[in-house]
A and B are shown apart, each in its own frame.
Chain A
Amino acid sequence: MDASTWVPTRTPPNLLARLFDYKPFLICVCLAPALGLLLVFLTYPLGLGIWLAFTDAEIGRSGSWVGLENFDSLMEDRVFLNAVWFTVFYTAAATVVKFALGLWLALLLNHHIPFKSIIRAIILMPFIVPTVLSAIAFWWIYDPQFSILSYVLVDVLHWRDTYIDFLGTPWAARWSLIAANIWRGIPFVAITLLAGLQTISPALYEAALLDGASPWQRFRFVTTPLLMPILAVVLTFSVLFTFTDFQLVYAITRGGPINSTHLMATLAFQRGIPGSQLGEGAAIAVAMIPFLVLATLLSYFALARRKWQQGPENE
């Protein structure tokens, strides 16, 4: 047989090969692992949590469906309402200060200063230390009898006669916790904003300088709009982290004094795990979802809009 008589015959592709050439199938197959992971590790726990919120489950006893009973009861629960209020307040107060100080720090670090890298590394310290450790450090700082701050003010400087009762009254405790959260959160804001600042081309500042822009104008019309996209992302994350904070409060006050510093996360844990009222704990956790979705949407859509970033004339 020579080559001229050879007729190339294409064997028809078998079923499997055809199946893999079929695009919709291929898409499904490629997506399956990712979807599977999401289902098992994200959707299922979330779904279970939401389902638990509508049952009267306790630890060691699977509950039965009670509808909205958990939420009804929470609506009249002074401790829960107080926790909702404080969570919002805590998040708002801490976020505002974290952003103000974080941005300021980022701007300072963006200048050429000696030992820049070392200073930047030091700034990250509060973020690197495990939260529980820093929480315990703050717990000592705020101790009614052994506070270093009280010691300095009373025994060294003699500015006060009595030790400060940081955690003994509701408002003092609230502000103390917010201060600890701010201390912990600033590095994250500062370093991410610094990264954002570095992406702004120096040419823009030079151009503005040549046009005679004052430092404030340069900040307002060059830095701010270009920083907005990253600001939106950082703000979203910061709000989410702060809103769901747990460790600081749990380690420092456990929600006391008189339940005045409970965050929704700590209250959900306290009721759900040590208190073994799983259903009610889950209901409190579920009640956080609307707030989180709202905060995310607000910061994302509002701040990520082009108009905000580049001015109304730049559609």
Chain B
Amino acid sequence: MDEITRRGSLALGAGALATAGLIGARPAGAAIPVADVPAPKQPIEAGATLRVIRPTKFVDPDETIWNANTEKFTKATGVPVRVDFVGWEDLRPQVAVAARTGAGPDVVVGWANDPHLYSDKILDMTELATYLGKKYGGWGALPQKYGKKFGSDTWIALPMGCGGGALVWRKSWVNEAGYSTVPDDLGKFLDLCQKLKKNGHPPGFALGNAVGDGNGTATWLLWAHGGYQVDDKGQVAINRKETIAALKYGAELYKTFIPGTLSWLDPSNNKAYIAEEISLTQNGVSIYFVAKNDPKTAHVAADTEHSRMPGSLNGKAPEAANTLNAMVFKHTKFPNAAKEYLRFMMEAEQYDPWLTKCLGYWAHPLLAFDQSDCWKSDPKIIAYRDAQKMQFWDGYKGPINAAAAAVSSEYVLVQMFAGVASGQQTPEDGVKEAERRLRRIYKS
């Protein structure tokens, strides 16, 4: 497998040259602090070709820069790469087919839990991840969680970007309600929301079956009150007084929301915020950029601030982040080429332009990129820079597995909060219902 052929070594040489050349030239501005660590030896197999699938773009540069970087890789190594961009919800079934049949894409850039569903079918990434970590100031807490096999130090995936959430709020309206900034204390936050509502600028958090935003609301409320769906051994632990407290708080908070949040899907809060119907919500960086880039809504962007979600627990903000997690299947004929491709994409010369042009939509997992120009261009998006520092994850505090993924895609927690908030269920009934479903999903 590690046979070095003439063409392979030539390609490698060309790759090394290209990399060295770029480092020598140090493109202006990209001052990412780098430690001098030798890259792992991954001689590219002769005649290698790669197929990559990844989720479809959210902003245009996500696709164009990705493709440009891939072309650079092909030029440097001679390895032709085909990249397929797949709909966000189609990705999981496609990966499942690849895993089941042992054919298909060599490199999969999937979602956070995907690699964990196939940990015995994918290549070990420890060497590559350790190299990147050492070179770029270490991995953030969340990528470490998603990259390593649960409860071990073995890397099975390479987290590539974290699409974080943050509290998005209108400064003038929050000030008008008597607060200079959004308080972290949950009691004061409720008071703020009540005052916002009284002033005719209600907040709005999605409580409908919205993959990102609905689950975001539910897990925020649960985690902020010290609740969790399962304990660290994967035993269902939803039926605790913390959950009841979270549900009661959620019901109080819901009274301050704009009407209709029970039916909100992912784009709803974006639309409502940009139309100035709501004063405060949780979202990715997209609201801000859409508002900023349209002259008609520039004043909304100018009045917008971002901060961590309130209710931090021992200093940990109750948030997770949507993470791009790359893996290489064992069935690939060109494992080294696949790993080299991932390494190439993660090196600052390629990664930094991608990060910057995507406006930080996928925040970096490697801490050195805190220094990227991306985060200097606009101080208002700093909150999104820190997505990789979050210490909660999908399925907290249990293992990252298929069950954790099922809980969010079946909206179990969202329905629990929505049912209680709308007054259809008592908190106790809501918890019992969720517990039943969780037990079924976690088979415990």
Q: Which residues of A contact B (CB under 8 A)?
A: 58-62, 73, 76-79, 139, 142-146, 162-163, 165-170, 173, 253-259, 270-271, 273-277
Contacts and interface: CB of A to CB of B under 8 A. Distances in A.
A276 B405 contact: yes
Given A60-B100, A163-B259, A273 B93 contact: yes
A258 B422 contact: yes
A79 B117 CA distance: 26
A273 B208 CA distance: 19
Contacts of A168: 259-263
Contacts of B95: 60
14 contacts: A58-B402, A144-B260, A145-B258, A145-B271, A162-B259, A165-B259, A254-B265, A258-B415, A259-B411, A259-B415, A271-B406, A274-B89, A275-B406, A275-B410
A259 B264 CA distance: 13
A5 to B, nearest CB: 71
A253 B209 contact: yes
B424 to A, nearest CB: 6
B15 to A, nearest CB: 33
A173 B208 CA distance: 12
Contacts of A255: 209, 411
Given A144-B261, A168-B260, 15 more contacts: A59-B92, A60-B99, A60-B100, A144-B259, A146-B275, A165-B259, A257-B207, A257-B262, A257-B418, A258-B418, A258-B419, A273-B93, A274-B89, A274-B92, A274-B410
B272 interface: yes
Contact of B410 (A60, A253, A258, A270): A270
A143 B133 CA distance: 46
A255 B415 CA distance: 10
B147 to A, nearest CB: 19
Contact of A145 (B99, B277, B433): B277
B409 interface: yes
Interface string B247-267: 000000000001111111100
Nearest to B89: A274
A25 to B, nearest CB: 38
Contacts of B208: 167, 253-254, 256-257
B421 to A, nearest CB: 9
Contacts, number: 120
Interface in B128-159: none
Contact of A73 (B263, B410, B415, B440): B440
Contact of A59 (B96, B259, B260, B415): B96
B402 A276 contact: yes
Nearest to B405: A276
Interface of B: 89, 92-93, 95-96, 99-100, 117-118, 207-211, 258-265, 268, 271-272, 275, 277, 402, 405-406, 409-411, 415, 418-419, 422, 424, 433, 436-437, 440-441
Contacts of B402: 58-61, 276
B410 to A, nearest CB: 5
Contacts of A76: 436
A266 to B, nearest CB: 10
Contact of B271 (A146, A169, A253): A146
A249 B282 CA distance: 25
A232 to B, nearest CB: 37
A166 B208 CA distance: 13
Contacts of A254: 208-210, 265, 411
Contacts of A259: 411, 415
Nearest to B260: A144
A162 B258 CA distance: 11
Contact of B263 (A62, A144, A146): A144
B419 A165 contact: no
Contacts of A79: 415, 437
Contact of A165 (B93, B260, B410, B436): B260
**Residue from A76, A168, A253, A275 having most chain B Cβ neighbours under 10 A:** A275
A100 B271 CA distance: 38
3 A-B pairs with least C-beta separation: A144-B260, A167-B263, A274-B409
Nearest to A147: B260
A277 B259 contact: no
A277 B441 contact: yes
Contact of B92 (A139, A146, A173, A273): A273
A277 B268 CA distance: 28
